[in-house]
Copies of this chain bind each other. A is one copy, B any other.
Amino acid sequence: MLTKKVLRNVVVAAAAMVTMPAMAQQNYKTDSATIKNIYNNALTSYESYENLRYLTKNIGARLSGSPQAAAAVEWSRQVMEKMGLDRVYLQEVMVPYWVRGDKEVGRIINSKLIGSQDVNILALGGSVGTGENGLSAEVVEVKSFEELEKLGKKKVKGKIVFFNRPFDNTHVITGAAYGGAVDQRGGGPVAAAKLGAIGVVVRSMTNDIQDVPHTGGTRYEEGVEKIPAAAISTRGAEQLSKLLANDPNLKFYMRMTCETLPDVLSYNVIGEIKGTEKPDEIILVGGHLDSWDVGEGAHDDGTGCVQSIEVLRLFKDMGIKPKRTIRAVMFMNEENGLRGGRKYAEEVKAKGEKHIAAIESDAGGFTPRGFGIDGNDGQYAQVLTWKPLLAPYGLHDLTRGGGGADIGPLKGQGTVALIGFRPDSQRYFDYHHTEIDTFEQVNRREMQLGAASMASLVYLISEYGLSGNGAKAAK
C-alpha cells in the first residue's frame, strides 16, 4: 500500500514538473529567490516570537468569554493596526462562557492497597459541576463504547465510568493516535449517562505518561442527563486501573464547581493586504485566538495566530505586493464551540466573497513537514508542481486531506481549497490542553520556519491562483 502511494506521488510530482506551465517554469528562478528571502527574513526576525511572548505571558490563557480572550482580541487588533495593513477589523460573534471554578479535587478513596490518595484531574470543558460537596461512587473501567454497552445499565447505574483507552503509540503521526482516542472525551459523558452513570473520568489525550491532566471539550445531548466529566492524568489513569484490578469496589471522589455562564459578545480579528491584480480573490491564513483556561495556549494556538500575522509582516517588510488579497484571521472560540469559524463562513456567504484558499495553522509551532490539501484534483496537482520550491525547506509531506477546524465551515463555498499546515507532530500532545503548553515550549526557529512555509505557499497562490486548471495535465 505504501509503495503504490509513494510511487504514485513521485510519479505525479515528476509529471507535474515536466508539464509545469511555461509561465511557472519561467518564473521558477524568481519564485525560488523570493521564497529564500522569505525564509531568510523569518529566521532573522524576532518580532513574531515577541508577539507570542506577549500573548502567552502578558495575556495568558484565554478561554472564550473570559476577560483574557477580550484582551487578546484587542491586542491582536492593535498589533495589526500598527502594521499599516489595508484593512483591520473585528467580526462580532456570540460565544459560550464556561468557567472552571475552584481547583478540582480527584481522590481514590478506601482502596485496599493505598487507602485514599489524591490524583490530578481537570474538568472537561463544558462539563457541569458536581455541587459543593462533590460526588463519590464506585468505578467501572472501559476501553470502548462497545464494552460499556455490554456492561449495561445494571452494572453502570450509579457509578463513575472510567474511559481508559490509551493512544495507539504505533502511529507515527500523533494526530492519528489522538483521533483514535478522543471519542471517549467527546462522547463519553452522554454514553455513560444513558446507562445511568453519575460521573465520568477520561484518560488524558496524550502519547506520554505524565502527571499533568489534559482538558478539552465534551458534549451533552438534549434529553440526556448532564453528568460531570473530568480528565485524569495518564499516570493517574494507569494507577487507577491497577488499583481497580485488585479492588473493583474502591470508590472515586470528584469535586468540580465549573459552570456555564451566559453567552458573551466576542470577535474574530481580521487583517488584510489587498491584492493588486485580483483583489476579489482571497487567500485566508489563520489560527484561533482562544485557548483553554490552563497553561498559556502557546502551541494551541498562540503560534498559529502569530504565524498568521507574521505572514502579513513578511509581505509588508519585503515589499511584496500580492496579486490576490491576503487575509489573516484570528478565529474566536475554536476550543469549545467553533462559533467564530461558523460565523466567518456565514459572513463570507452573505457577502458573496470569493475565497480561493484557506490555510490554518493549528497543530503547534513545530518544525514544518508539509501541508494537507483538501481541494479538487487540479488544485492538488497544482500544489505538487510547487514541491521543488518547497522541499528544500523540509516541506515534503504535501498530502491530500487537510484543513482545520476553523476553516472547515468554508467547505463547499466555491472552489476554496482548505489547507492544513502540518508541523512535526511528535511533541504536540505532550502539551496540548494543559498547564505546560507555555511559551518556553516554543522554539523560535521552528515557529518561524512554519511562518515562512505558510508565507511561501501564500505567495505562490497569490501569484498563480489555485484554480488547478493549469496543472490538470499533470494528474
Interface string of A168-179 (1 = CB under 8 A from B): 011010100000
Least CB distance from A173 to B in Å reads 9
B6 with A388: CB separation less than 8 A: yes
B11 with A388: CB separation less than 8 A: no
Interface string of A1-33 (1 = CB under 8 A from B): 011001100110110010000000000110010
Task: Name the one of B17, B207, B393 contacting A445, with C-beta atoms under 8 angstroms.
Answer: B207
Which stretch (A36-44, A374-382, A408-416, A464-472) binds chain B? A36-44
Q: Which residue of B lies closest to A427 (CB)?
A: B443
* Total A residues in contact with B, Cβ cutoff 8 Å: 42
A475 at the interface (CB under 8 A from B): no
A388 with B32: CB separation less than 8 A: no
A138 at the interface (CB under 8 A from B): no
In the complex, which residues of chain B have a beta carbon less than 8 angstroms from the beta carbon of A6? 387-388, 391-392
Binding site for B on A (CB under 8 A): 2-3, 6-7, 10-11, 13-14, 17, 28-29, 32, 39-40, 43-44, 169-170, 172, 174, 207-208, 367, 369, 387-389, 391-394, 396-397, 424, 426-427, 430, 443-446, 449
A172 with B391: CB separation less than 8 A: no
A216 CA to B397 CA, complexed, in Å: 36
In the complex, which residues of chain B have a beta carbon less than 8 angstroms from the beta carbon of A444? 208
In the complex, which residues of chain B have a beta carbon less than 8 angstroms from the beta carbon of A40? 170
In the complex, which residues of chain B have a beta carbon less than 8 angstroms from the beta carbon of A392? 2, 6, 172
A424 with B424: CB separation less than 8 A: yes
A10 CA to B208 CA, complexed, in Å: 37
One complex includes copies of this chain to the number of 2
A391 CA to B387 CA, complexed, in Å: 15
Task: Name the one of B7, B388, B449 contacting A3, with C-beta atoms under 8 angstroms.
Answer: B388
Task: Name the one of B14, B367, B424, B445 contacting A11, with C-beta atoms under 8 angstroms.
Answer: B14
A427 CA to B174 CA, complexed, in Å: 20
In the complex, which residues of chain B have a beta carbon less than 8 angstroms from the beta carbon of A17? 7, 10
B170 with A44: CB separation less than 8 A: yes
A406 CA to B11 CA, complexed, in Å: 39
B446 with A172: CB separation less than 8 A: no
Q: Which residue of B lies closest to A369 (CB)?
A: B394
Interface centre among A10, A28, A170, A172 (most CB of B within 10 A): A172
